[in-house]
Amino acid sequence: YEDMWKSSIDKLNSFENNGASKWAEYLETCAAFLDCGLPNFIEEKLDLGSFQNFVWEALRDGLKRWPLQPHSSMLNSLFTSPKMCALASFQDLYVGLEPSENSGQIGGGVFRKTAPAVFGLLAALELHPNNEKAGVFAPIGGFRQVAESMQNLCIECGVKFYFETTVTCVAEDGVY
């Protein structure tokens, strides 16, 4: 494990000067976004204690980490390497948003198709080494297994499947 950790640090530092320490700082910011965002906005369970670190991260360094700016704006203020920016923003694509600022849009596009910086919480969820909630999980047998298991469950419950059939009507009593 130590060899892998050292190799990761060396790789980040090869992208830019102090890349590993900049990455660690970025993940701390993302962890604060996650620690506040998950309970308060996703689970809708008020956690006032999480706001202190969230606000600190949002305001520090002259608002470089402001969570409602375009994600790319925050990343460009923290990293000089395009590779580091890409590494820190690929999760935005998971939710169908662009990480890059759109200067022709109000707020850089965060009200339309541009991911806000707070979406860095996805990086914390996946990659933060000290986050108990961290990790990427996949179903045993792959994602195809999820569909096959759902189909089997449906069949057990009496659902009928028709493949290679044209649907001509959807009604309250069935699909024809």
pLDDT of residue 152: 96
Q: Does 102 score more than 70 pLDDT?
A: yes
What's the farthest any 2 CA atoms get from each other in the chain?
Answer: 65
Look over the chain and give the mean of its residue pLDDT values, rounded to a whole number.
86
Residue 130 is predicted with a pLDDT of 64
Given a contact cutoff of 8 angstroms between Cβ atoms, the answer to whether 20 and 127 are in contact is no
1: tokens are 């494990």
Q: What's the Cα-to-Cα distance from 55 to each of 33, 111, 147, 163, rounded to whole Å?
A: 9, 21, 41, 53
**pLDDT surpasses 70 at 37:** yes
Residue 96 has pLDDT above 80, yes or no: yes
Phi, psi of 175, deg, nearest 5: -115, 130
pTM of the model: 0.67
- DSSP code of residue 104: T
Looking at 14-18, 94-98, 153-157, 158-162, which range is the least confident one?
Answer: 94-98
